[in-house]
Structure 1
Amino acid sequence: MKTIRKIGVVLKEGCDIEGGQFAIDALQKHIPMDDVVRLDEKLIKNQDPLYLDAVVDLNEHLKKSVKEAYDRGEFPLVFGGDHALAIGSITGVAQAEHAVLWIDAHGDCNTEESSDSKRIHGMPLAVVQGHGHPALTKLVDQAVDSKNILLIGIRSLDDAEEALMKQWGVRWLTMEEIRKQGLEWMQNEVMLFARQAKHLHVSFDCDSMDPMHYPGVNTPVRGGFVSEEILPLLEAVLSLDNISSMDIVEYNPTRDPNLDTLYLIQAIAKLLETQLRRN
């Protein structure tokens, strides 16, 4: 069984939404971290993209921490903190033919040109493909091929972002499609993709879930998954022996009064541990 290396990332600057900086403190009470990566506050300044230097520096440190764990034969499990941290969690493990399963309400495929908000948490999946601001893409040693990416749960794309995704050849399953075709169809599509991967990183954004049930997120979008839908899928995906790493992101404890979102994160972490023990 691989040892899980739990890495917490204290980060809200990628989304610039208050509350996300408390995610790791809240999670630590239930999921002890092996390492915590923090942003250098001296680097925080208003830039385009927003807080660029600080987010780049944090991802450099996270990439190093993830790579060291991966090279030791450990399984990097990264918690956050906004989705900008996926730049570091993916570049730390990315090899040739590395695939990414991205579970999210959003596409996160904006660049600094396409983004209206200029927030980096809307850009990480573009960056790991080698697209975007040079200060961000310099972190990419091995770009992820667009054909090796599948997004699920999508229900909020910017027009310019969607055009880029089509141009690059990224594939995604919207919640509308999933509701129409059914959960069995979704699981079949995901497992077909996942089994073909040489190495697979799973990126789980808490806003993929329905905020009526799991409100503790930075950018909620109505109509997401419930636990009875997502946990069986993750159980199947995480049982595969090609899983390399995972991140669980965008938790905002200030919006989670009953801790429903936190308990979901805890359940996913326990599920991963169980599946790795079986592999």
Structure 2
Amino acid sequence: MAPTFVVVPQWQGSTSPRAMRLIDGAAAIQGDLPFSATRLVDVPVEAGDSLDTGVRRFSAIQQVRERHTRILQDTTDWALSIGGDCGIALAAVEHAARTHPGDLAVVWFDAHPDLHTPESSPSGGFCGMVLRAIIGEGPAELELAAASSVRLQNVVLAGIRDIDDAEDVLLNEHGLVSVSCSELADPAALIAAVAAIGATHVFVHIDLDVLDPSALDGLSDLIPFGLSVADLGGAITALRADFTLAGATITGFAPASPAAATDDLPSILRIIGALTR
């Protein structure tokens, strides 16, 4: 079933020097989406205030989450939310978890595990905390209802390779499943990891920095030894063959110019195609 496309040009969750380019990246992708099936979340112009939460620009992030949630609640099919920074995954996964309570696995394609809290984060950027918030251990001001969060045991990390010490402790303590970039050349290991969870529905989050910098110029973070577009597309296709897609996010497109965006768009559209065909 075709999704509703929800464009969320949030940049406030990122601490990258390229953060403002995320607005242009979201707009560039939106230009190639079907107009009648696309909704746009209004993102504040201002950066926002931390409001003593330990999260930079928290007030803007909270406002976007509320607006994103309202649009998702109006969708009749599954939604593909396109950022912006990966903080937009909070509302998107929250919506999918409410729709499929107790029956949702999350596959997190990202160079980073995004498992910080405000206390452990070296930057205060929400982009590095979003998965921790999704599992119900985020800032108190973003606390999710039990039916809207996802258990850590229902998360599979895919392609992570830039892990901070505090995140590494959590990964080791809980034995979180992680499938490496080299393993993703054959999606069998990923499919087995998701199948072991026992869920029939899957949410797919894609921060484009899971790709190798040689695959895409417009990345907000450049982390070497990532995936090829072909391997990412193959993994998505394999997931959709065995599980029902409950929602997805694509984030982290930060082109340097309109011309650079045009060069990258065919690769991004291939990823969108793998999710929606």
TM-score (normalizing by structure 1) = 0.87
**Higher deviation after alignment, 233-242 or 217-226:** 233-242
Per the alignment, residue 159 of structure 2 pairs with: 153
1:107 matched to 2:113? The reply is yes
Q: 1:229 to 1:38 in 2, by over 3 A?
A: same
Per the alignment, residue 248 of structure 1 pairs with: 250
Aligned amino acid, residue 94 of structure 2: T
Residue pair 1:251, 1:261 contacting (<8 A) in 2 also = no
Give SS of 1:92's match: helix
Per the alignment, residue 3 of structure 1 pairs with: 2
**Higher deviation after alignment, 45-54 or 164-173:** 164-173
Per the alignment, residue 35 of structure 1 pairs with: 39
- What is the 5 A alignment of 1:1-279? 2-16=1-15, 17-32=19-34, 34-41=38-45, 44-47=48-51, 48-69=54-75, 72=76, 74-94=77-97, 95-138=101-144, 141-175=147-181, 178=182, 183-184=185-186, 187-195=187-195, 196-254=198-256, 257=260, 259-274=262-277
Give SS of 2:29's match: helix
Note the residue ranges of structure 2 that are not aligned, 5 or more in a row: none
**Higher deviation after alignment, 95-104 or 252-261:** 252-261
Note the residue ranges of structure 1 that are not aligned, 5 or more in a row: 275-279
Q: 1:182 to 1:248 in 2, by over 3 A?
A: closer
Deviations 1:8-56 (A, max 9, x none): 0011110042211112221122224510112233571355310111101
Superposition RMSD in Å: 2.1
**Higher deviation after alignment, 22-31 or 162-171:** 162-171
Identity %: 23
Shift, 1:136, TM fit: 1.7
Taking the aligned partners of 2:111 and 2:262, their CA distance within structure 1 comes to: 20
Taking the aligned partners of 1:182 and 1:10, their CA distance within structure 2 comes to: 29
Give SS of 1:100's match: strand
Taking the aligned partners of 1:252 and 1:221, their CA distance within structure 2 comes to: 14
Taking the aligned partners of 1:24 and 1:125, their CA distance within structure 2 comes to: 21
Deviations 1:76-111 (A, max 9, x none): 011110000000110011122321000111111111
Give SS of 2:41's match: strand
Shift, 1:182, TM fit: 7.0
Give SS of 1:257's match: helix
**Higher deviation after alignment, 255-264 or 241-250:** 255-264
Shift, 1:138, TM fit: 4.1
TM-score (normalizing by structure 2) = 0.88
Give SS of 2:235's match: helix
Taking the aligned partners of 1:66 and 1:170, their CA distance within structure 2 comes to: 29
Q: 1:62 to 1:27 in 2, by over 3 A?
A: same
Residue pair 2:106, 2:155 contacting (<8 A) in 1 also = yes
Shift, 1:229, TM fit: 1.7
Shift, 1:273, TM fit: 2.5
